Copies of this chain bind each other. A is one copy, B any other.
Amino acid sequence: MEGLQDQGGNSGQTVVALDAMGGDHAPEAVVAGAVEAAGPGLKVLLVGRGDDIERCLEGTGAEKRRHLEIVPASQVIGFDEEPTRSVREKPDSSLVVACEQVAAGRAQGIVSAGNTGAAMAAALFRLRRLKGVKRPGLCAVIPTPGKPTVFIDVGANAEVRPVHLLEFAQMGSVFSREVLGVAAPSVGLVSIGEESVKGNELVLEAHRLLTGSGTIDFYGNIEGRDMVRNVVDVVVTDGFTGNVCLKLMESTSAVVIEEIRRAASGSFLARLGGLLLRRRLRRFKESIDPEVYSGAYLLGVRGLVVVCHGNSSSRAIANALRLTARAAAHDVVGKIAARIAGEAPA
């Protein structure tokens, strides 16, 4: 994934605030990810308990340390805490303080592998929505074979109206172009049939809005089977369907790979076959590895917010930091704001 190393063409250093205390393997793996990703193009603010973070940084060279800065925060929000309440009651938590770095202009983005709901709540309260955006959406990058697909919304909004789906299409298109480099991203609307008359009320009306939008390359409806077949660059759906589908997709690939691995551990010949195939299977597994485009991007707020899996490894954190830096270098937030403003009714 050397592509992820490039920081775009901006001058100066991108600064990203990292919730050093969030995640199953925090702070160790999280800080290690920061050490991996930090460099001349990317400065990482390590937000959390100073002593803990210092301990994780022991042995890190002076050159690396120049691109790492500890920002103290005394509290931690756990995975089982109620999102809104925890954000309100823990103003000195690593997550909230990380958001404040962006709100205060000291960082351009935030990465957290902690409580997803709390991260979204903190982003909404501390960063606020972009002007004109009704509903921020959570965007994931699916490692479909061939080229990655942008998938929005994967869980920020369990209940949406048609106009929100239009917003997701706009934000997803900007993300696809700026972060993944797709020149003219096509957008598909998830439904239960390709024809414009197929679907529920939400989708029928959203289809009309998307067809009428002058700035979106609208492919039309897509079905469940098309999501992993590179039919479109941006898959748009409500946060309920999107969340269920994202988890189903990950789980189905994992089950199939597990079963094939089990098949390859049967007879002597099958084991030998598995051994011979191992390198290529590993390469394939890496190509669909969720860690490469780890995390989901909350689009529509005044800053870049990246929510990673709770069990993120240092590699996943490093990749999330790099993608955030790239998105910042390409001014994804500014471009989303301009796009939404351009489409707003006069």
| Shortest distance between the CB of A285 and any CB in chain B (Å) | 10
Decide if A275 is an interface residue (CB 8 Å cutoff): yes
With a cutoff of 8 Å between Cβ atoms, the chain B residues found around residue A198 in the complex are: 158
Taking a contact as CB atoms closer than 8 A, the residue among B155, B252, B280, B287 that contacts A253 in the complex is B252
The reply to whether A199 and B273 form a contact with Cβ atoms under 8 Å apart is no
Decide if A256 is an interface residue (CB 8 Å cutoff): yes
Given contacts A224-B243, A273-B274, is CB(A263)–CB(B248) below 8 Å?
no
For A237, the closest partner residue in chain B by CB is B244
What is the copy number of this chain in the assembly? 2
Decide if A163 is an interface residue (CB 8 Å cutoff): no
Interface residue total, chain A, C-beta cutoff 8 A = 60
| Shortest distance between the CB of A267 and any CB in chain B (Å) | 8
Decide if A145 is an interface residue (CB 8 Å cutoff): yes
List residues 211-269 of chain A with CB under 8 A from any CB of chain B: 223-229, 237, 239-241, 243-253, 255-257, 259-260, 263-264, 266-267, 269
| Shortest distance between the CB of A104 and any CB in chain B (Å) | 32
The reply to whether A273 and B266 form a contact with Cβ atoms under 8 Å apart is no
With a cutoff of 8 Å between Cβ atoms, the chain B residues found around residue A259 in the complex are: 145, 284, 287-288
Taking a contact as CB atoms closer than 8 A, the residue among B191, B257, B269 that contacts A256 in the complex is B257
| Shortest distance between the CB of A221 and any CB in chain B (Å) | 11
List residues 278-293 of chain A with CB under 8 A from any CB of chain B: 278-281, 283-284, 287-288
Taking a contact as CB atoms closer than 8 A, the residue among B144, B203, B272, B277 that contacts A264 in the complex is B277
Closest 3 CB pairs of A and B: A273-B276, A224-B247, A224-B248
